[in-house]
Structure 1
Amino acid sequence: MVEADFGTASGFARAVFAEAEYLLGSLNRHVKPVHPDVQRLIFVCLGNVNRSAFATAVARLRTSATRSIGLGAAAGARPPRSAIRCAASLGVDLSSHLATHIDDYDFQPGDLLLAMEIRHARFLVERGIPPSAICLLGHWSVPRRIHLHDPHMLSETYLGACFTRIDVAVNKLLDELLAAGSPCMKSPSGGCHEALVSS
């Protein structure tokens, strides 16, 4: 059960510690309601071939104002076949995705960076990104999962669970932005996601 739901024992431990930090209030600046003036969504993970790649592909079904980056990405890397298959089963196409390293990203006012892990958020702060522009995507998952553990090289069962959580979280976030009249939701997309999550 641990491997299917959390990926690894380490993933379980990190999820527990992340939830504890959330309950203690130490993550408040990264789980606040989103600002209505968000212009662009930037999804962040480590390699930019699984979590953030999938998140931005989900978001792109509803808005074009999105991109993704990896803190340790190999620029131009493609998602593994397992990620492409899993995404396709959820109605999302990852086949043309190419990884982008954070060094090829320039922060712009109005960017909202959505990190998959607490350490990603803290790394972004150390890079000079304003803390007010960084949120933890798992805050919008249902149920909440502050730590979205890296599925790379793990079981396809966990990969599916991880992508499903991200799908729910992204759509719940987009619903919130839409309700707030955010400019990022006024950018047209090429399609419509069938499984929207109500706020």
Structure 2
Amino acid sequence: MRLLVLCLGNICRSPMGEGALRARLDDSPLAGAVEVDSAGTGGWHAGEPPDRRAIRCAAGHGVDISGLRARQLRRADFQAFDWILCADEANLRDARTLAPAGLRERVVLWLPWAGIDDAREVPDPYTGGTAEFEAAWDLVNRAALATVERLTHAPALGIIDR
């Protein structure tokens, strides 16, 4: 199973989501069975590390994302990943526009897909401060936990034997 977390520039929400998801997977029965990556719909930050505030926020929760580097979503990603988990509606729309016919159903809003009922989107913290990054972390971490739960209890996906 391969999952791609997607946001706009791949320097805030999606690297925090990738870090949270990797950490939660490593502590689950799915450790080693699910690959995780992240990307942005835009390429402005390609090759750059995550925003320093995102790095600091994730580190405050015991997750190191400092080694990640931003990249732009590629057409090949639609074939390579089982699910593309979008942070918000704009990223969902943009990614589905790029997706080849027949693969658009793999591009989803992450929070509802994971089973988060009280929010649909992860707000972009880029123009905010510590509180906005913490709020984004809370949502991506909850989504990461819910994703592990969903995948752990989905034997039809063939991830782990039951």
Query: For the superposition of Structure 1 and Structure 2, which TM-score range results when normalised by the shorter chain?
Result: 0.7 to 0.9
Task: Name the counterpart of 1:66.
Answer: 36
- Helix, strand or coil: the match of 1:49? coil
Q: 1:86-97 maps to which residues of 2 (within 5 A)?
A: 86-97=57-68
Task: Name the counterpart of 1:18.
Answer: none
Is the Cα–Cα contact under 8 Å of residues 114 and 137 in structure 1 kept in the other structure?
yes
Q: 1:1-199 maps to which residues of 2 (within 5 A)?
A: 39-61=1-23, 62=25, 63=31, 64-73=34-43, 74-103=45-74, 105-108=76-79, 111-129=82-100, 130-139=103-112, 140=114, 142=116, 144-181=118-155, 182-183=157-158
Task: Name the counterpart of 1:29.
Answer: none
1:120 aligned partner, one-letter code: N
Q: CA deviation at 1:117?
A: 0.8
Is the Cα–Cα contact under 8 Å of residues 41 and 111 in structure 1 kept in the other structure?
yes
Identity across matched positions, percent = 27
Q: CA deviation at 1:183?
A: 4.3
Is the Cα–Cα contact under 8 Å of residues 41 and 184 in structure 1 kept in the other structure?
no
Separation in structure 1 between the aligned mates of residue 127 and residue 146 of structure 2, nearest angstrom: 27
Q: CA deviation at 1:138?
A: 2.1
Is the Cα–Cα contact under 8 Å of residues 115 and 135 in structure 1 kept in the other structure?
yes
Cα shift readout 1:14-33 (whole Å, capped 9, x = no counterpart): xxxxxxxxxxxxxxxxxxxx
> Does 124-133 or 137-146 show the bigger shift?
137-146
Separation in structure 2 between the aligned mates of residue 93 and residue 116 of structure 1, nearest angstrom: 20
- Helix, strand or coil: the match of 2:47? coil
Q: CA deviation at 1:54?
A: 1.0
- Helix, strand or coil: the match of 1:84? helix
Structure 1 pair 104/123, CA: closer, same or farther in 2 (3 Å)? closer
Ranges in structure 1 where 5+ consecutive residues have no aligned partner: 1-38, 187-199
Post-superposition, which runs of at least 4 consecutive aligned residues in structure 1 deviate over 6 A? none
